[in-house]
Amino acid sequence: MPLVSHNPTTGQIIARFPSWNAETLADKLAQAHHSQEDWKVQKFTSRAKVLKLIAERLRAQVERLAKLASLEMGKPLEESRAEVNKCAMICEFYADHAESFLSRQLEQTDATRSYVNYEPLGIILAIMPWNFPYWQVMRFAAPALMAGNAVALKHAPNVQQCAQSLAELLVEAGLPKGLFLNLPIETDLVEQVIAHPSVHAVAMTGSERTGRTVAALAGSYLKKCVLELGGSDPFIVMADADLEFTLDRAVQSRFSNAGQACIAAKRFIVVPEIAERFVEGLVARVANLKVGDPLDAVTTVGPLAREDLRAQLHEQVKRTLDLGGVSMLGCQAIKGPGYFYAPSVIDHAPTHSPARQEELFGPVAVVVRAQDEADALRIANETRFGLGASIWSRDIERAERLLSEIQAGLTFVNSIVKSDPRLPFGGVKASGFGRELSFHGIREFCQARTVWISHCPT
C-alpha cells in the first residue's frame, strides 16, 4: 500500500509514495552495508568535510525545506525554519567534535599498553516521528554518520516528503549513496530490518507503546536499542518566581509546534501563593495566540498533524473535564477544514485524569494546584514518565537542590526544557533509556573495544 501524506491545514492528500516490498528492502540494506564498509575506514576529517557540506546545503535550502515541513505536518513556518537551521548546527557540531569524542582512551593497567577504541557498529535503524521531521532525524544521524555508521530511516508515513527531501539533500552534499537510506516501508517490515545481520542497533523516538514493541523486537535479535519516548513534563512554579517571565516561557514551552513535543511543559504545578495570578496570566496569554495556516506569518499555532491525533486529544480532554477538571479556555476542536484544536487551559486537573496520568500531545495547558513545595515535588513525580522538568524560582540554590528530587533525565531552572548538542538528551522511567547528543550520544552507537598489549618476557 502507498504511504499517504495529508496537508493538516486542509485535510487534503498532497502526496502518495509507493512502499517497498521485502525484496527491495533486502537489496537496499545490502547496498547500505557495502557503503558503510567503505565509509568506516574514512578519516574523521573526510567525514567532517561531508557533514559541513550538508550543513551548507541545509542553510541554502532552508525556505524550501521549511515550507515542506509546514505543509506536511503543520508547524508555523518560523518554527520550521528554526528546525532546519538547528539541523545544520548539529552537523557542524559533530563535524567539529566527533574525533575528540571518539579518540583513543588510554588506561593505566599492568599491561605494557592498554586502551579503549570506539568503533562503528554498522547500519543503525532509526525509527522517527513526524513532529520534528528533520531535527529528530539529524539529531541521531549526524553523530551516527560521523562515528562511521550507516543510517536506515523508517520515518513516519505522514512526512515522507520531508524524509525523501532530506535523503536527497544528503547525497547532493556528498554523502556516499546508500549510506543514508530512507525506507518507505510499512510497519510489518520493521522486524525484517531489525533482524538483518548488517543492522546492529535501533534508535527510536515515539510513543511509549511503540517503544515497548521496538524494544522487544530488538531484544529478541540481541540488537542494542536507544529509546526516546513520551513525556509529561512538570513545570513547577514557586512562590518567588518572576511571574511575567515565567508565564511567557510557559506559553512558549506548551504551545510551540501546537503542543506536539515530547519535552513540552505539560503539567503546570503551582503553589497556592501564586496560583490565581498564574492561571489568570496564562489564560490571557493563551487567548492571544493566533491559530491558522502555518504559512501565514501571523500564525503562532498551526493544526495538529493528523485527524486521529486531534480526536485522541479531545477524548483525553473530555475525560479530564468529566472527572472534575475546569475548562478555562478552549477545550474543543475548531470547526472547518483541517485538524485545528483551540489553544486550551484546564485548571484543577484531578489526580487520576488523563491530563495528569497520560501525555496530552496538543495545545492544552494543564494546571495542577499543589498544597505546598513538598506537594509540588510529589505531583511532579506521580507520572510514569520522566523526560524533562523545570523549576521556576528566584532562589537558584534552593531550586537546584530541589531538582535532585525530580525523576527526570533533563532538569532545568528558569528555562524551558530543550535539547543542546553539548549535553546528553534522554529520559528515565517510561520516557525511555539511552542518550542522544554530546559525547554520550555518539558513543551509544559505537563498540567500545578493549585493547591490551603486553611485551613477551625476555
Spatial neighbors of 43 by CB under 8 A, at least 6 apart, are none
- CATH, domain 3-229+431-452, list 3.20.80.10, 3.60.15.10, 3.90.650.10, 3.40.605.10: 3.40.605.10
Let me know if 358 is a catalytic residue: no
Please report the pLDDT score of residue 212 as a whole number. Answer: 97
Euclidean distance between CA atoms 58 and 77, whole angstroms: 15
Mean pLDDT over the full length of the chain: 97
Cα–Cα distance measured from residue 92 to residue 292, given in angstroms and rounded to the nearest whole number: 34
CB 29 within 8 A of CB 356: no
Catalytic residue among 87, 262, 331, 446: 262
Architecture of domain 233-413: 3-Layer(aba) Sandwich (3.40)
Q: Are the C-beta atoms of 359 and 386 separated by less than 8 Å?
A: no
Provide CB contacts within 8 A for 42, sequence distance 6+.
148
- Rounded mean pLDDT of 1-21? 94
pLDDT at position 78 is 98
Q: Residue 32, class by beta-carbon neighbours within 10 Å (0-12 exposed, 13-18 middle, 19+ buried)?
A: buried
Report the DSSP pairing between strands 428-429 and 385-386.
antiparallel
Provide CB contacts within 8 A for 280, sequence distance 6+. Answer: none
**How are beta strands 446-453 and 113-120 bridged, if at all?**
antiparallel
Domain ranges of the chain: 3-229+431-452, 233-413
Q: How many CA atoms lie within 13 A of 365 on its CB side?
A: 32
Q: Which entry of 208, 228, 358, 436 is annotated as an active-site residue?
A: 228
Q: Is the pLDDT of residue 457 over 90?
A: no
CB proximity list for 232: less than 8 A, separation 6 or greater: 266, 267, 356, 358, 359, 360, 383, 385, 387
DSSP class of residue 300 equals: S
Amino acid at position 264, single letter: A
431: left (phi over 0), alpha (psi -120 to 50) or beta: alpha
CA distance 104 to 115: 7
Q: What is the value of pTM for the model shown?
A: 0.97
Q: Is 85 left (phi over 0), alpha (psi -120 to 50) or beta?
A: alpha
pLDDT digits (tens, 9 = 90+) for 234-269: 999 999 999 999 999 999 999 999 999 999 999 999
Mean pLDDT in residue range 420-432: 98
- Mean pLDDT (whole number) for 354-361: 98
Q: Say if residues 442 and 101 touch (Cβ distance below 8 Å).
A: yes
- pLDDT tens, 113-140? 999 999 999 999 999 999 999 999 999 9
Listing DSSP states for 335-354 in one string gives PSSS--B--EEEES--TTSH
Tens-place pLDDT, residues 55-113: 999 999 999 999 999 999 999 999 999 999 999 999 999 999 999 999 999 999 999 99
d(CA 435, CA 449): 20
DSSP 17-49: EPPP-HHHHHHHHHHHHHHHHHHTTS-HHHHHH
User: Which residues are CB-contacts of 297 (< 8 A; sequence separation ≥ 6)?
Assistant: 77, 78
Average pLDDT over residues 216-228: 98
pLDDT tens per residue, range 275-328: 999 999 999 999 999 999 999 999 999 999 999 999 999 999 999 999 999 999
Q: No. of H helices and E strands in the chain?
A: 15, 20
Torsion of CA 21, 26, 29, 35, to 10 degrees: -120
Task: Scan for cell 492528500, then name that residue.
Answer: 13
pLDDT value of residue 2: 87
User: How far is Cα 396 from Cα 207, in angstroms, rounded to an integer?
Assistant: 33
Mind listing the pLDDT tens digit for each residue in 23-44?
Answer: 999 999 999 999 999 999 999 9
pLDDT for 16 equals 95
Asked if the model's pLDDT at residue 1 lies above 90, the reply is no
Distance (Å, whole) CA 447 – CA 458 = 34
List 267's β-bridge partners, or say none: 234, 366
Contact 21, 142 (CB under 8 A): no
Is 228 catalytic? The answer is yes
- Any idea what DSSP says for residue 363? S
Torsion angles phi and psi, residue 32, rounded to 5: -65, -40
